[in-house]
Amino acid sequence: MKKRIVIPVTALAVLLFAALIIVPAHQYRPANPAMDDFSADGCTVIMVARGASADGSTMATHTCDCGVCDWTWRHVPAADHQPGETRKIYHISQYKTWPPEEGLKWDLYKNDFTGLEIPEVPHTYGYHHGMFGYMNDQQLGIGESTIGCARKLYNNTPTPAFDITMLTLIAMERCKTAREAVQLMGSLAEKHGYGFNDGGEMLAVHDPNELWVFEIMPAGPLWTPESGKPGAIWCAQRLPDDHVCVCPNESRISEVDLQNKDYFLGSAQMVSFATEQGLYDPKSGQPFSWKKAYSPSAGSAVSSNGRRARLWRFFDLVAPSLKLSPETPDMDFPFSVKPDKPISVQDVMAMTRDRSQGTQFDRVKGLRGGPFANPNYFGTTRTIGTSSVEYTTITQCRGWLPAPIGGIIWLSFGLQETSCYMPLYAGITDVPASFKVGDHWILNRDSARWAFDYVDFHTQVVYNGALEEVKKAQAEWEAKTVARIPEVDKEALARYNRSSLEGIGYLDGFCLSHADNVVKAWWKLGDDLFVHFNKLGYYNPEKRAFDRGRNLYPEWWRKAIKVWDVITEPDGK
């Protein structure tokens, strides 16, 4: 009997050992040494045009994937300005943070004045921002993804006045439509220079009618404002009205037709500059491709061992009928596709939580997730949901409502899988106090983000079991809220029609109290998970019982341990 067990286990161990020797360790190398590769771990932007959504809204996400960045939020109120006033432009680093005792980022960034002041406009719109400007009271929404650029284009000197964050804040202050925002950001960057803290960047810029993919590149470190040359090169392509698109840190715009102004906007010099820089050869016989010239990448989901899997995964989720292959190089994927079915805001929430379940890039496939199927243990494949996320936004613009009610930011803090989306209407005049504070290095019970990290931390122990409890809380606090939104809209609209202040006051009350309740619920959920899964069993407070056997290691895990023992201790000592 013993012999019968030992032989297959030994055989399996030998095979496993051989596999460990033969299969090289996973090492991803960027195919293009002229490109930086860090952006492969950055943010994901999912975009849904109004004809592709279930309710006729436009939507864009920003998964703010960093791990060491600031997560705090601010509301900037609308303001009127006198003639002759100027707007100071600041350098804002996505990564720079300050210890809490020194102050908060959205006060201290003003120490980094660039020296540039531009004429102020008579009225600036109110808006909500975190790392970027996300939504203003005119229903202009923005999401961001770093796409990198050819190395020679980086301009990390302080000469260019604009970083990507500052561009989004100015767009929020001054623009009603996506088209206006794209043109304003492009022209300011061309005139005053773009770069310093940032390289190639992509923004999804949308209003209730249009969604534009805006991509911008610095013009290299030798640019000076006196040169008369553009200090940035940019391009924007509009998403067809019944399509969806994704940007997973890779440039998405290919061939450009600047004559077709309904669908393309951009720097007049984009081809000549690329040619000058040796990034495009007009004599090659190939048509000019924006992404191949300015932000080329190579490889596919498969060839990158899943590191570049988000592009394929998104298209496969929204349009499985297309049967797109994970072996297709990312550069060859379409700009956008028509989804197989209309996409709801809950579909988008689910996609931000995606961990490539059931695919070859599944992070819990085989032994990877350990006995409790934890997708955070073995992190070689990159999924849309990722534990380094600071927060995720889904900006939603709904043209059938007045702008302050039509625009919503759905915001979740920390890992999407264990967090909860909360609505912030475009017109509200403040954000919850707990959204304004906190950092990664000091646990702060007044900070909303820590409530969600608290749950996430206690989910790690018995992941699959704890996640079921998190899902129940999400059903209570998130799904029910999504379902309640039409009722909130109706009430807000009725009040807004009587008085805009009354309507906005109602939304202020709803958003702030709802967020406070969710944050409280998540602190309690963290406590509950701690109690329930203590000692790797299950403590049931209602029955005052302890179920020691509920979280037993699965049989396959026990076998895997035996195999490992045979490999590492072949003589059985």
Q: Which of residues 110-149 bind other proteins (CB under 8 A)?
A: 112
Question: Rounded to the nearest 5°, which phi and psi values hold at 439?
Answer: -150, 175
Rounded to a whole number of angstroms, the minimum distance from the CB of residue 225 to other proteins is: 9
* DSSP-assigned letter for residue 342: P
> 415 with 391: CB under 8 angstroms?
no
Minimum distance of other proteins from residue 24's CB (angstroms): 12
Distances from the Cα of 419 to the Cα of 80, 378, 456, angstroms: 38, 21, 8
Q: How far is the CB of 91 from other proteins (least distance, A)?
A: 5
Q: Is 284 in the site for other proteins (CB under 8 A)?
A: no
Q: Which is nearer to other proteins, 94 or 359 (CB)?
A: 94
Q: Quick one: which segment of 214-222, 306-314, 345-353, 538-546 binds other proteins (CB under 8 A)?
A: 214-222
CB of 196 to other proteins, least distance (A): 8
The residues in 169-198 that bind other proteins, with binding defined as CB under 8 A, are 196-197
Looking at the Cβ atoms of 91 and 174, the one nearer to other proteins is 91
Q: Strands 232-238 and 201-206: what pairing? A: unpaired
- Which residue, 92 or 431, is less far from other proteins as judged by CB? 92
- Distance between first and last Cα of the chain: 21
Give the contact letters, 64-103, x = binds to other proteins (CB under 8 A), - = no: ----x----------------------x-x-xx-------
Instruction: Please state the closest distance from residue 26 (CB atom) to other proteins, in A.
Output: 11
Angle formed at CA 414 by CA 408 and CA 416, multiple of 5 degrees = 70
| 429 phi/psi in degrees, rounded to 5 | -105, 10
- Look up residue 370 and give its amino acid: G
Helices (H), 337-474: 345-352, 403-406, 448-459, 463-474
Residue 213, SS3? strand
Nearer to other proteins, 67 or 320 (CB): 67
**Nearest CB to other proteins, comparing residues 201 and 469:** 201
CB 496 within 8 A of CB 504: yes
| Residue 222 engages other proteins in binding (rule: CB under 8 A) | yes
Copy the structure tokens of residue 359. 């695919």
Of residues 111 and 513, the one with the C-beta less far from other proteins: 111
Which position among 2, 3, 29, 283 is part of the footprint of other proteins (CB under 8 A)?
Answer: 29
Look at phi and psi of residue 464 and say left if phi exceeds 0, alpha if psi is from -120 to 50, else beta: alpha
Among 100, 221, 334, 399, binds other proteins (CB under 8 A): 221
DSSP 72-118: --EEE--EE--TT-EEEEE---SS----GGG--HHHHGGGSEEEEEE
What is the size of the binding site for other proteins (CB under 8 A)?
Answer: 26
Mark 150-169 with x for binding to other proteins (rule: CB under 8 A) and - for no binding. Answer: -xx-xxxxxx----------
Closer to other proteins at the Cβ: 39 or 392?
A: 39
> CB-wise, 97 or 416, nearer to other proteins?
97
Cα 44 to Cα 49: distance, rounded to the nearest angstrom = 16
- Residue 223 binds other proteins (CB under 8 A): yes
Tokens 């602190």 locate to: 523
The single-letter DSSP state of residue 153 is: G
Contact positions vs other proteins (CB under 8 A): 27, 29, 33, 36, 38, 68, 91, 93, 95-96, 112, 151-152, 154-159, 196-197, 220-224
